[in-house]
Structure 1
């Protein structure tokens, strides 16, 4: 009897608590969504527990969106009528699309832990046991999407889309500016699409990385830090971060399927809700309305060099590991079938897109054996097609990289002879701030090769090619690591500059060509001027935080600077086209330069293409650069 009485009391107590929670939740004062969103980036009701009503417009893995019905809005274009309700896990059935619901929760300004220096998202955060969802009606027509046109971005501010946060929108015509990404299983050469790509409203130009310090890094500095920057670097430019970029997430809403598209594809009627992630306003596509494809980008082949020309290329092949265990490194061993598929794919690209360059500097290579297997595959495929065997040969000198990737060189031995190879700075050390005094300066030491290219009449054309893969941007803006990373990038560029100057001073007639992934832009980024230091035109001390002295004379020329500005990219990052892969020549070689082109086979294409061994696209994430040179010097300009 005593036990039964306890159970009865417990049941009454639980019912009482539940009723009390419900009464507490729905006793909150109700606010309109627009009032909660406010006219600025931060809600005027932040940290308040509120009740809000709206139509459910979208569901995600961690919450749902609600929006004020069209006939209930405040008619103020400066305030958003939509908001995200954070539930931590998949929302309950009451939050079905089309339901009019009343929701309680705490107004929060959410900033992702991985992106602390970014704009915040105004949310209603629900707490289990306190907050509730009440269905008021079902099957409601969704609010009409707001048309997003070029005028939305006229002010060119990073928060131009704030007034549409959480609302349904439609882009009538969207130009894809960066392809759909994905997660690569290197061992098996398979890909899981993430369904995310970038675009701009049609009529706006493709976004490019431009000179200057990233605006996002600047705006979150405190007043003293900003004052110090202005005082110490008065010529420091700011890059606006291209706020016109839109991040399109095709799999964010529940029930969606990924959309895999290349850059420069045109999409019509892109419809969804506005969210924010990775410092970019996003549109989470409605699952039932796939945009119509109006245009499609295909690969762009480079021209064949004429008999009086030869070509020098650079290609970051990206994680080129073979199916054998290298005892010197801890690599992920690729399956034999996956490696053979990759060899087939890269061979296809080198032969059809790049037109089998005479000299190819390669990056992210496991070892010489792996690169020679690629050479053998290209040789065999070329012969099988009825063309002369180029007899490519590989050269790889191992460096210091923790992942075991190195730079390498491929030469057409039927036309190119190796005279000498030099590994630059393998044992050079530096003392990074807060780090080890014995840190290697060069994880992937540059490889210099003195070569002779056979001309039309068999006359040897001497040229020195330097293959580079410099420090990446990883840690560049990390408060704990940035000083060491920036120092390393500066010192690497200065080391290469000194090497070039030594060569030029010893023999002013030596023809020098630098290729590779420099992990730097063709201009300064306000932090370091890697390319400027290497070519002998470093940014002024008031323009960059880590300036370099002028170490090279005569200066080098970056061939990238001479091509069409709209073609000045080899990589896409967060929707911005940018150059990381350069070809620089010294003054002795410049009279022989004919042109430069990028094989459009990787950067513009979705990651899902990598898994298809029958097509050349996406063998890497970098486009290969191919420079054309004549055996005869051009006459001097008048």
Structure 2
């Protein structure tokens, strides 16, 4: 093994091993004009002013008087130290840093771009301090022209630099880390926004452009799928993280507490200043610890309309990990504290009664077991009576499924008005062959649950009969992971075809049966280029040239997705990476169209910050999904036409 030799010169300590093959170059040269550095894999020495500190690295930027004349090259860069940087990397210090140039991407972010960074190793690389307490480089002001459509690396020229946003509108609220046992949320300080005057971004049809770029043989892809739609990933979105930068910890003062920015959708935030990073699949502004921002235009939930005596309502609610405070020996769950469970019961009861106006039938997903759902029903009933309202007499229906975490589908039925004639689980034992392992595995982890019910028409006293099926399809987890995607994609396609065949059998057996499909379909209302789940279920699957995993047309007459008839700006039930998107649908068959009088989402969750979970007095944030609510009438009427 070679020995390391140290050379001593006046005032300077050099590591001989790091000096070998090193190049003194500018930050702009390392960054270059493209996403991948031409110096990738090489050992270099760069210099600049420290502008920000993270828990495992820091940023440096070229002083303003030494920048190059090329606006396409960034003057800032991230220095990865693996552990918290030493005091030599204090903000305001000018430093010289050695390390190897690397293009980094997290293993769990296969569609992310890489970030150009200087990676340091102990014993090999060094930080040399020049001067201290320097003024930081002036922040570049981001404008609408910096956010180009159909470009996923449009902010590459600012990567690692100090930037400023004058006015930003929040498009997805601040997130948080949830303790599964206590339910307590700690804000992560991160939210998404667009520059003011830019419309709210929605998920659009097609394959994510980042996946399209990752295809090795694009020519073959174009030949096989010539009409494959591509989604540009909404490059106008920028992520804001108010919790990532840290201040230098000292023995005298310790670590200063930096308040997070906790905001809801539509909030306007002014004067955001910090360093631009690329992380979590998005360009991210890491706000300075002392950033002086202002917040305005906060929103509140609006009550849903009360059904008339000629109407009834049906809802779908994802209750997000609704586990109780009792240990279930059949599953390996986190047993929540009694305090958390009571808090969740109160929030849900109040949301259902006071905001959603006590729907007649609620299809629920992500519920631990029948006992937990019965306790929710009892809480709603007792709270209603205590508030001086009629007892809705909700009863719970749930059948255990195959899910490894033990979450199931169920119903809350207002038996003061609704009569149930049948409750039946569908396809629990159906299996298919996993293309990766060749094993036969369950098709339906959370099998659909069917409920046949009726409500007496107040005018005629005749029963108005209908069938509701609650669904919770396979999630997107593994959808873009090369090791899992084949199985995930075929499973989602087969689940959609299973439900489509079920509906077709019912329609064929009784053309007059009124059918409602609802729940968390984990699919958009359009073709995502990989699997067209909703199109398949409706009887309008995407043509083979437009989707990688096509399905046949299995349904006739076609079904109607109610999200297609509401205002475009209201077409979302969930927010992911700043994109408003629909995962929760209510789909009806043609014979029910003339009895459909309204549809919408209860804006209680997707637009509000995670820390609202901690407040039992708030309606907001009992889940990460907004409930879908449909209104039906006993009368025949001209129904809205699907677009």
The alignment's TM-score, normalised by the length of structure 1, stands at 0.95
Match of 1:555 among 554, 558, 564: 558
Partner of residue 213 from structure 1, selected from 187, 190, 207: 207
Question: Which runs of 5 or more residues in structure 1 are unaligned?
Answer: 1-9
Distance 1:167 1:637 in 2: 51
Q: Supply the distance in 1 between the matched residues of 2:19 and 2:548 (Cα, whole angstroms).
A: 53
Contact 1:22/1:132 (<8 A) preserved: no
What's the offset of the Cα at 1:233? 1.3
Are residue 425 (structure 1) and residue 417 (structure 2) matched?
Answer: no
Partner of 1:268: 270
TM-superposed deviation, 1:180 = 1.3
Displacement of 1:297 in angstroms is: 2.0
Question: Corresponding residue for 2:253?
Answer: none
Paired residues for 1:442-457 under 5 Å: 442-457=444-459
**Aligned residue for 1:196?**
190
Q: CA deviation at 1:137?
A: 1.4
Q: Deviations over 1:501-547 (max 9, x none)?
A: 11111111111111100010000111111111111111101111111
SS of the equivalent of 2:24 reads coil
Mean Cα deviation higher: 549-558 or 255-264: 255-264
Equivalent residue for 2:391?
Answer: 389
Number of equivalent positions: 626
Q: Which residue of 2 aligns with 1:319?
A: 321
Q: Find the counterpart in structure 1 of residue 155 from structure 2.
A: 161
Structure 2 unaligned residues grouped into runs of 5+: 248-257
Checking the alignment, whether the CA contact within 8 Å between 1:314 and 1:625 is kept in structure 2 is yes
**Partner deviation per Cα, 1:90-117 (whole Å, 9 max, x = no partner):** 1111111111122222222222222244
How well do the aligned residues superpose, as a CA RMSD in angstroms? 2.0
Matched-pair contact (CA < 8 Å) for 2:89–2:127: yes
Distance in 2 between the 1:117 and 1:451 partners?
45
Relative distance call for 1:410 and 1:436 in structure 2 (3 A) is: farther
Q: 1:263·1:604 contact (CA, 8 Å) conserved in 2?
A: yes
Is 1:598–2:592 an aligned residue pair?
no
CA contact (8 A) 2:76 2:161 kept: yes
| Structure 1 SS opposite 2:489 | helix
Distance 1:71 1:212 in 2: 45
Could you tell me which residue of structure 1 aligns to residue 231 of structure 2? 239
- Alignment check: 8 A CA contact 1:360 1:410 kept: yes
Residue 105 in structure 1 maps to residue 107 in structure 2: no
Encode CA deviations 1:558-613: one digit per residue, 9 max, x unaligned.
00000011110000111111100000010110100111110110111111111221
Q: TM-score normalised to the size of structure 2?
A: 0.94
Contact 2:36 2:103 in 1 (8 A): yes
Report how far residue 454 of structure 1 moved. 2.5
Are 1:330 and 2:332 counterparts? Answer: yes
Superposition pairs of residues 100-499 of structure 1, within 5 angstroms: 100-222=94-216, 224=217, 226-255=218-247, 256-435=258-437, 437-457=439-459, 458-499=461-502
Separation (CA, whole Å) in 2 of partners of 1:579 and 1:111: 28
Alpha-carbon deviation of 1:142?
0.9
Shift of 1:257: 3.1
2:589, 2:399 → 1: CA distance? 24
Contact 1:80 1:164 in 2 (8 A): yes
Q: Is this contact kept in 2: 1:423–1:445, CA < 8 A?
A: yes
- In structure 2, how many angstroms separate the alpha carbons of the residues matched to 1:239 and 1:551? 27
| Structure-to-structure mapping, 1:31-50, within 5 angstroms | 31-50=25-44
1:88: Cα distance to partner? 1.2
Q: Does residue 581 of structure 1 match 2:590?
A: no
Distance in 1 separating the partners of 2:554 and 2:321: 33
1:288 Cα offset (Å): 0.5
Structure 1 residues 173-213: Cα deviation after superposition (integer angstroms, max 9, x where no partner): 11111111112122212112211111111111111111001
Whether 1:526 aligns to 2:529 is yes
Aligned pair 1:505/2:499, yes or no?
no
Structure 1 residues 208, 39: closer, same or farther in 2, change over 3 A?
same
Q: Is the contact made by 1:435 and 1:484 (CA closer than 8 Å) also made in structure 2?
A: no
Shift, 1:19, TM fit: 4.3
Seen in structure 2, the aligned counterparts of structure 1 residues 167 and 636 have a Cα distance that, compared at 3 Å, is closer
CA separation of 1:30 and 1:636: change in aligned 2, threshold 3 A: closer
8 A contact 1:156–1:244 mirrored in 2: no
User: Alpha carbons of 1:234 and 1:289: their partners in 2 closer, same or farther (altered >3 Å)?
Assistant: same
Q: What is the rounded CA distance, in whole Å, between the counterparts of 1:312 and 1:398 in structure 2?
A: 22
Partners of 2:420 and 2:535 lie apart in 1 by 29
Compute the displacement of 1:362 (Å): 0.2
SS of structure 2 residue aligned to 1:370: helix
Instruction: Report whether the alignment pairs 1:627 with 2:627.
Output: no
Query: Does the 8 Å CA contact 1:175/1:267 hold for their aligned counterparts?
Result: yes
Q: 1:20, 1:76 → 2: CA distance?
A: 32
- SS for the counterpart of 2:178 is strand
- State the partner residue of 2:53: 59
Distance 2:617 2:488 in 1: 39
Question: Do the aligned residues in 1 keep the contact of 2:608 with 2:620 (CA within 8 Å)?
Answer: yes
TM-aligned CA distance change 1:516 to 1:23, over 3 Å: closer
What aligned pairs does 1:64-79 form with structure 2 within 5 A after superposition?
64-79=58-73
Contact 1:25 1:132 in 2 (8 A): no
d(CA) in 1 for partners of 2:123, 2:371: 62
Of 254-263 and 191-200, the range deviating more from structure 2: 254-263
Cα distance in 2 between the residues matched to 1:464 and 1:28:
72
Whole-angstrom CA distance in 2 between matches of 1:539 and 1:140: 59
Distance 2:105 2:206 in 1: 25
